[in-house]
Structure 1
Amino acid sequence: AFSRQQLVPAIAPFLHQHPQLHLQLEVTDRLVSLASEGFDLAIRHCRREALPDTHVAWPLCHTATLIVASADYIRRYGRPETPDDLRHHQCLTYPRGPQRPQWTFASRQTPDERVTINVQGPFATNNSESLRDAVLAGLGVALLPNFSAREAIGRGLVQELLPAWQPVEVFADKLYVIRPYTPRVSRAVETFSRYLKATFSEPRPAPAPAPR
């Protein structure tokens, strides 16, 4: 989702500025061995402790997890007002293993207050863009990274729910740029790295609060 919605649109201005450079982009969810497979850079949505010690890494931007549903779904089934209400909704999940899916929320007013609920629904997938498409189709409520939901929220197709609660332990809170450790870095890699920092490290407007 980040690649299609954010990264690819940013590549065209970069190549216009640097016509002598050539970029090859591979989009995958698998963990790539950068050095052995010939990659110069990778962007990963992960926790800091998951980054390999043999690589150089720096945070590109912060991310957040949102709970969302389509406007059509809300019209048909109503808007959940508390995390407990989600027990009675169709919940679309990102599977993490064979265990029954659970969602945990922290109160924004008192972060030490946490609520964990069992959820169920008609669809699960380990791809956030596919999960977003299921939300757009009106299949249910989902937790999404903000970069997956931002475009649909901006167009009014998807609404953020439960503004008083923050989903926790779902997706990482940062995107990282990583590269293999080498004593010398090519000018092309340095140039593109600086461009990524300048483009994505700037503050971005938060999605509009859900209408009530």
Structure 2
Amino acid sequence: MFSSERLKGIDVFVCVADCGSFTAAADRMSLTGSAISKAIARLESRLGVRLFHRTTRRLALTDAGVAFYRTCTGVLADLEEAELSLHAENTEPRGRIRIDLPGAFGRLLALPIILQFAQEHALLHPHISFSDRLIDPVEEGVDIAVRIGGSDVWPAALGHRYLGSEWHIFCASPAYLSKHGTPVTDRDLEQHQCIVYGWADGTVSPWSFAGKHPGEIERRSIAAKFVVGDGEGLVIAVTAGCGIAQLPSWLIKRQLEEGTLVEVLPHLATTGMAINLVWIKNRQTLPKVNALLEKLGAHLLPSASNI
């Protein structure tokens, strides 16, 4: 059962963190400095952690304090929005919304949609981050995330919607193909300069090849001339004529249209990772979350199941 004790001191804590001192927070809240200090001490005692580093010159949040502040500001903002949303006329998306996007995909495809949405709703304040790692939206306070790949089984606290899958193709620049020839079979790649994705620990990502039967995919390590640990960096390298790369078609759509890159070995192209829209279920009813989910669901991948 929820206890109202959990709410005690939260407003004081947030005010102190925002003001940077007990004195300034006391002035803002019309309380004494002693009352502010005691409220923070009780809150720290109840939580069992220190929320602030205190010196004679400086007051700063601890790591635990930073995490708690992020949660508290979200809770207070949601309470305010929930009150406003009780009135029929206040269904306008408003307030702070946390969104996390995969790096290149987010910048190229999702960000323009979110920026347009924010311009249409002046009371909305998006906080957008970019990461390609797996995240826990609940723990990190992320309202909506777009993810490439992920588990087949999603936690009960999360809602998710499959938007489509990547389409991985082989490509090279016209200049490279003019100099080195165009591969016809996968074995021809052994005679070419291949550019692959790799990580800092020295491991590299294998390439995928369509098999003889529908839906069959063979993953194979390739001898690489270049290893690049960034998707957009791969695009730069292959466009510069350094070799052949396997890339998702969404990442090189513009280059293919302009002719600075061309597809090779089209019969070996494969379906890549799934693209999902993910959100915290108990926040979906908030107008800001629900409206942005509808916008991204309708416009992020509007027509293609594979991109």
If you compute each CA radius of gyration, which structure gives the higher value, 1 or 2?
2
Change over 3 Å in CA distance of 1:116–1:86 after alignment to 2: farther
Distance (whole Å) between structure 2 residues aligned to residue 111 and residue 139 of structure 1: 32
Alpha-carbon distance change, 36 to 112 in structure 1, aligned in 2, over 3 angstroms: closer
* 1:48–1:117 Cα change, 3 Å: closer
Q: Which residue of 1 aligns with 2:141?
A: 38
**What SS is found at the alignment partner of 1:111?**
coil
SS state of the match for residue 164, structure 1? helix
Gaps of 5+ in 2: 1-103
Describe the shift of the 1:140–1:51 C-alpha distance in structure 2 as closer, same or farther (beyond 3 A).
farther
2:281 to 178, 181, 191: 181
Residue number in structure 1 paired with 2:210 = 106
| Distance apart, 1:83 and its partner CA | 0.8
3-state SS in 1 of match to 2:277:
strand
Contact in 1 for aligned 2:209/2:219 (Cα 8 Å): yes
Matched letter for residue 36 of structure 1: E
CA change 1:65–1:34 in 2 (3 A) is same
State percent identity of aligned pairs.
27
Q: Which residue of 2 aligns with 1:200?
A: 300
* Of 42, 49, 52, the match for 2:152: 49
Q: Is the 8 A contact 2:169 2:266 kept in 1?
A: no
> CA 1:120/1:32 → structure 2, altered by over 3 Å: closer, same or farther?
same
- Give the structure 2 partner of residue 210 of structure 1: none
Residue number in structure 1 paired with 2:179: 76
Structure number with higher relative contact order (C-alpha < 8 Å, ≥ 6 residues apart): 1
Name the CA distance, whole Å, in 1 between partners of 2:277 and 2:205. 30
Conserved in 2, the CA contact under 8 Å of 1:136 and 1:158?
Answer: yes
Q: Which residue does the alignment assign to 1:154?
A: 257
Q: 1:134 maps to what in 2?
A: 237
Alignment partners' CA distance in 2, 1:6 and 1:125? 22
Distance of 1:184 and 1:117 partners within structure 2: 41
> One-letter code of the match for 2:264?
L
Instruction: Report which of the two has the higher share of helix.
Output: 2
- Aligned partners of 1:131, 1:205: CA distance in 2, in Å? 24
Stretches of structure 1 lacking an aligned partner (at least 5 in a row): 208-212
1:101, 1:36 → 2: CA distance?
29
- Contact in 2 for aligned 1:63/1:147 (Cα 8 Å): yes
TM-score (norm 1): 0.82
Partner of 2:14: none
What RMSD in Å do the two structures reach over aligned CA positions? 2.8
Q: Is the 8 A contact 1:87 1:117 kept in 2?
A: no
